[in-house]
Amino acid sequence: MLKKIVFFYGPKYNFRRRLPKNKPLTTISELAIYSDKKMREHTFKIQGKRGGDAAEKQEERLAVPCLVAYSEQYASISESALHSFLSFIDQFEVESLYLQNPPAHLAAQFRNMHSRVKVIKHEYKTLNFESLKRIDREYQLAIIGQEEVKRRLLTALYPLAAKKLSKPLVLLFYGPTGVGKSETAKYISDVVGQKLFRRQFSMFHSNEFAPYLFGGRHTGDSLAKDLMERESSVILFDEFDKPNPLFHSAFYQLFDEGIYEDRNYRAEVKNAVIICTSNYASAEEARERLGAPLFARFDAVIEFRPLSDEALGVILAKSCREEAELLTAEEREIISEEELCASLRPHVAAGGDGVRGVKRLVREKISEALLDRALRG
Which pLDDT belongs to residue 202?
85
Sign of CA dihedral 213, 246, 175, 270: negative
Separation between Cα atoms, residue 191 and residue 182, nearest integer Å: 14
Amino acid letter, 19 = L
pLDDT at 60 (0 to 100): 65
The predicted pLDDT at position 48 comes to 53
- The pLDDT of residue 55 is 47
Chain segment 80-101, per-residue pLDDT in tens: 888 889 988 888 999 999 999 9
| Fold (CATH) for 129-303 | Rossmann fold (3.40.50)
Q: Where are the domains of the chain?
A: 4-121, 129-303, 309-376
Q: What is the pLDDT of residue 47?
A: 53
Pairing status of strand 266-268 against strand 259-261: antiparallel
CA dist., res. 363 & res. 210, Å (int): 38
Taking 50 as the pLDDT cut, the residues of the chain under it are 55, 57
pTM for this prediction? 0.86
